[in-house]
Structure 1
Amino acid sequence: MGPGYGDMINNGGLHPLNQSLSGSTSEPLFSGLSPPWMCMPLEVYKGKMYFLAKNSTGSKYLQGKLEGGNLEDVEVIFSELKEFVLDLMVNGSGNLVMQKLFQVCNENQMKQLLVGILNSGGIQFICCNIHGSCCMQKLIELLTPPLKYVVVRSLRPLTCTLLKDSHGRCVIEYCLKKLPPEDIKPLLIEVADNLYEIAADIYGCCFVLRCVRIAQGDIMYQLLDQISANALFLSKHPYGNYVVQNMIAENPYACENLLEQLQGQFVNLSMNTYGSHIVERCLEKLKKDQVMTVILEFTTSGDFLALLLDPFGYGVAETALKVSKDMGQIHEILIDLILGHCHFLHNHPYGKRVLKRAQECKRRLIDP
Structure 2
Amino acid sequence: MGDQKLLSPPNGSLGIPNPRKLGTSVGGYYGGPPGMGVMAQFPVSPISSPVLPSSPVGGTTHPGRRNDLRYPQGSHRNTGIYPGWQGQRGVNIFDDPKRHSFLEELKSSNAQKFELSDIAGRIVEFSVDQHGSRFIQQKLEHCSVEDKVSVFKEVLPHASKLMTDVFGNYVIQKFFEHGSPEQRKELADKLVGQMLPLSLQMYGCRVIQKALEVIELDQKTRLVLELDGHVMRCVRDQNGNHVIQKCIECVPTERIGFIISAFRGQVAMLSTHPYGCRVIQRVLEHCSDEQQGQCIVDEILESAYVLAQDQYGNYVTQHVLERGKSNERSQIISKVAGKIVQLSQHKYASNVVEKCLEYGDAAERELLIEEIIGQSEENDNLLIMMKDQFANYVVQKILEKCSDKQRVALINQIKVHCQALKKYTYGKHIVARFEQLYGEESQASETSDG
TM-score of the superposition, structure 2-length normalised?
Answer: 0.48
Shift of 1:197: 4.4
- Structure-2 residue corresponding to 1:324: 360
Alpha-carbon spacing, 1:341–1:262, altered in 2? closer, same or farther (3 Å): farther
Q: Matched residues in 1 for 2:310 and 2:403: separation? A: 26
* 1:113-168 residue CA offsets vs partner (Å, 9 max, x unmatched): 85xx69xxxx4x54322465356568885866774453121321313322xx2x33
Shift of 1:341: 7.5
- Please state if 1:363 is matched with 2:405: yes
One-letter identity of the residue aligned with 1:215: V
Q: 1:171 aligns with which of 202, 207, 210?
A: 207
Q: 1:287 aligns with which of 309, 313, 325?
A: 325
- Conserved 8 A contact 1:152-1:184: no
One-letter identity of the residue aligned with 1:274: Y
Q: Matched residues in 2 for 1:282 and 1:88: separation? A: 48
* 1:202-231 residue CA offsets vs partner (Å, 9 max, x unmatched): 565554443322112423444445466543
> SS state of the match for residue 154, structure 1?
coil
- Conserved 8 A contact 1:53-1:93: no
Q: 1:272 aligns with which of 294, 297, 310?
A: 310
- Conserved 8 A contact 1:283-1:319: yes
- Structure-2 residue corresponding to 1:151: 190
Q: 2:280 aligns with which of 230, 233, 244?
A: 244
Unaligned runs of 5+ in 2: 1-80, 102-115, 141-145, 410-450
- Conserved 8 A contact 1:231-1:244: yes
- Structure-2 residue corresponding to 1:312: 348
Alpha-carbon spacing, 1:153–1:292, altered in 2? closer, same or farther (3 Å): same
- Structure-2 residue corresponding to 1:29: none
One-letter identity of the residue aligned with 1:277: Y
- Conserved 8 A contact 1:271-1:312: yes
One-letter identity of the residue aligned with 2:305: V
RMSD of equivalent CA atoms: 5.4
> SS state of the match for residue 361, structure 2?
coil
* 1:267-299 residue CA offsets vs partner (Å, 9 max, x unmatched): 222222332232222112111111122222234
Q: Matched residues in 2 for 1:148 and 1:257: separation? A: 37
Comparing both structures, which one devotes a greater share of its residues to helix?
Answer: 1
One-letter identity of the residue aligned with 1:180: E
- Conserved 8 A contact 1:196-1:230: no
Alpha-carbon spacing, 1:214–1:332, altered in 2? closer, same or farther (3 Å): same
One-letter identity of the residue aligned with 1:345: N
Q: Matched residues in 2 for 1:214 and 1:250: separation? A: 9
Q: How many residue pairs are counted as aligned between the two chains?
A: 293
- Structure-2 residue corresponding to 1:298: 336
TM-score of the superposition, structure 1-length normalised?
Answer: 0.56
* 1:239-259 residue CA offsets vs partner (Å, 9 max, x unmatched): 443333344345585641222
Alpha-carbon spacing, 1:266–1:338, altered in 2? closer, same or farther (3 Å): farther
Q: Matched residues in 2 for 1:212 and 1:276: separation? A: 21
Q: Matched residues in 1 for 2:280 and 2:198: separation? A: 21
Correspondence 1:124-143 to 2 at 5 A: 125-130=161-166, 132-133=168-169
Unaligned runs of 5+ in 1: 1-16, 27-47, 61-65, 69-73
One-letter identity of the residue aligned with 1:243: V
- Conserved 8 A contact 2:340-2:368: no
- Conserved 8 A contact 1:209-1:246: yes
Q: Matched residues in 2 for 1:89 and 1:314: separation? A: 48
Q: Matched residues in 1 for 2:126 and 2:356: separation? A: 60
- Structure-2 residue corresponding to 1:214: 250
- Conserved 8 A contact 2:249-2:286: no
* 1:5-25 residue CA offsets vs partner (Å, 9 max, x unmatched): xxxxxxxxxxxx99979xxx8
Q: Matched residues in 1 for 2:173 and 2:360: separation? A: 51
- Structure-2 residue corresponding to 1:184: 220
Alpha-carbon spacing, 1:232–1:67, altered in 2? closer, same or farther (3 Å): same
